[in-house]
């Protein structure tokens, strides 16, 4: 089933065609298709069967993420009590692949260099043990609030948050972290399919961080 297609700016289509080449047609088809709705359960708070019972929905596993699931039907889940209680995090299935590819070990110290709003940070926390540490860094000041809210909601422990410029952070703790995660360029393009206004306002300047 297709969703209403936003009016994509010509510059966006030209840029993606140049990047994707022969895959551009498949990219357009994906943009027009129904967006997969995913959630990642919080293993520190709930198991799959209990969460499925609470939501009253079928949960289909995301192949690349043991705690990730696809859900279909039902109302929006953002205001569901189980979400507000931090039993799960609403996240695109593709975004779940990042931490799984990193494959952090339980005792690792990991820095998330662009942490807001917290999807990958909470995923990291769920993969680490009592000896692990996540340093959640976000240099855009107004994005720290949603990061803190999501960490609190999910009951995330073993996390330190900060807003340190990356070159300064590198000089403060050389060799301290076992891994660094940077989901760049933080252009907001993941929102294009969800928000027609965001799609209509896309520009190279926005991607570069200098636009509105």
93 is in an annotated binding site: no
199 is in an annotated binding site: no
Residues composing the chain: 212
Q: Which residues contact 175 (CB under 8 A, 6 or more apart)?
A: none
Helix, strand, coil fractions of the chain, as percent rounded to 5: 40, 15, 40
* Contact criterion met (CB below 8 Å) for 120 and 97: no
> Taking each helix axis from N to C terminus, what angle separates 10-20 and 24-32, rounded to the nearest 10 degrees?
130
114 is in an annotated binding site: yes
* Contact criterion met (CB below 8 Å) for 37 and 16: no
> Taking each helix axis from N to C terminus, what angle separates 144-153 and 119-127, rounded to the nearest 10 degrees?
40
183 is in an annotated binding site: yes
131 is in an annotated binding site: no
Pairing of strands 159-162, 133-137: parallel
Can you name the residues that pair with 65 across neighbouring β-strands?
62
Binding site as annotated, residues for S-adenosyl-L-methionine: 114-120, 138, 183
Binding site as annotated, residues: 114-120, 138, 183
């Amino acid at each position: 089933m297709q969703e209403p297609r936003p009016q994509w700016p010509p510059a966006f289509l030209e840029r993606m065609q140049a990047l994707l080449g022969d895959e551009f047609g498949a990219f357009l088809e994906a943009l027009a298709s129904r967006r997969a709705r995913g959630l990642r359960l919080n293993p520190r708070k709930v198991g799959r069967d209990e969460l499925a019972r609470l939501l009253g929905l079928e949960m289909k596993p995301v192949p690349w993420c043991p705690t990730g699931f696809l859900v279909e039907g039902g109302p929006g889940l953002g205001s569901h009590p189980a979400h507000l209680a931090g039993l799960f995090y609403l996240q695109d299935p593709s975004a779940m692949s990042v931490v799984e590819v990193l494959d952090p070990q339980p005792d690792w110290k990991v820095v998330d260099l662009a942490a807001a709003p917290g999807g990958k940070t909470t995923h990291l926390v769920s993969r680490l043990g009592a000896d692990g540490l996540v340093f959640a860094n976000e240099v855009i000041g107004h994005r720290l609030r949603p990061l803190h809210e999501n960490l609190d909601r999910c009951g995330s422990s073993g996390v330190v948050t900060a807003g340190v410029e990356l070159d300064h952070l590198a000089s403060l703790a050389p060799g301290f972290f076992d891994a660094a995660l940077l989901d760049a360029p933080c252009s907001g393009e993941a929102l294009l399919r969800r928000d027609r206004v965001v799609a209509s306002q896309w520009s190279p300047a926005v991607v570069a961080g200098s636009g509105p």
